[in-house]
Chain A
Amino acid sequence: MLRNVCIQLKNGLPKSYSTSTSSPASSELAALEPRKLLFPSNYKKPRQVWLESLDTIDERKLTILELHPEIFAANPRIDLIHQNIKWQQNYRYVSYAHTKSRFEVRGGGRKPWPQKGLGKARHGSIRSPLFRGGGVVHGPKSPTPHFYMLPFYIRIHGLTSALSIKLAQDDLHIVDSLEIPSEDTSYIDELIKSRLWGPSVLLVDSVDIMPRNITAATDTIKHVNLMPAYGLNVYSMLKHDTLVLTRGAVDLIEEKLLGHLHKNDSRAVEAKYKLNQV
């Protein structure tokens, strides 16, 4: 969903998010630097969170990070989250339920019995909806697509609401990277248990090529999933109990969402998708 949301920004960005090139030593140092917030707010204080590391089973705190209040302390609009989730469930759903009307059901062209003289009710067809085996009135027809687009800023505010709720309910954790020392499944199991995460955990990185160990360790655990930041969406955030973002992912998510919340050409960009244009 974030990918849909960020299509305009994508072309303008010089860096590529699909490969990890930096060496672990330099990235660890970079992760410890204090964050510089884009579009700092005059009225709201930044939220502070611990930067953790996945390299030990027990929680190891590295430093404190500041998160942008417009993204991580936004108004938790449950209704917008609901709308986002309904949209995500519906836009790709095509109903294949199908029924036949009285004219599509085989037979029934002949008047079953004379109009008068039998003392029976008058009927013109044995496939009338009154008959057993007759057609269905106003029944479902296949295929029925349920596609629609949610307005752009409802999608944006759905994301900020979901992130804010996750942080407020202590279900959001920031880690320096997704590097873990072993590719053993039990390592990640124990880590989640010892840190009181989950049970279901969504791990989000800024790039879509994840470190080998985490990929191997989470491969067989169905409720621990990996996701690149461009795939982050409201449904997955609520589907999983705990959301784990890498610092790179936090930077990327903030940059994209703040970019959309603060751009001044949104009217022109949205205009062409507007219905009922004069």
Chain B
Amino acid sequence: MSGEEEENAAELKIGDEFLKAKCLMNCEVAIILEHKYEQLQQMADDPMNQVSQVFEKSLQYVKRFSRYKNPDAVRQAREILSRYQLAEFELCVLGNLCPETVEEAIAMVPSMKSRGRALDEEAIEKVLNDLSMIKKFD
């Protein structure tokens, strides 16, 4: 990123590191951190003492803010979202916030409506429908 003033996630203007790196949904981070925590549990009696504050706070956060709990549902959510022409960042915002209507989805991810995108309201509606199906079987 050249200048901080330019950063604007609403327009998908984000740092180069985000374009190279993979974005993760809260539920995916929850699986990774919980697995890490279990590994520590096997090695130490008091695993919370072994982890950094950053780890602890993040684990608590993603446990509370995961829309999908079981690993199959998490995998399915990413699979469904990947079918549409969404940037990694947009995909994760939708998976994290699970908007219920097209208007809400566009308010959460305004870049979806920018010019030159193949996503019309019908397509967005379909994404939300597909996502809500997973939630039911979770």
Whether A and B are associated in the same complex: the answer reads no
Give residues in A with beta carbon < 8 Å to B. none
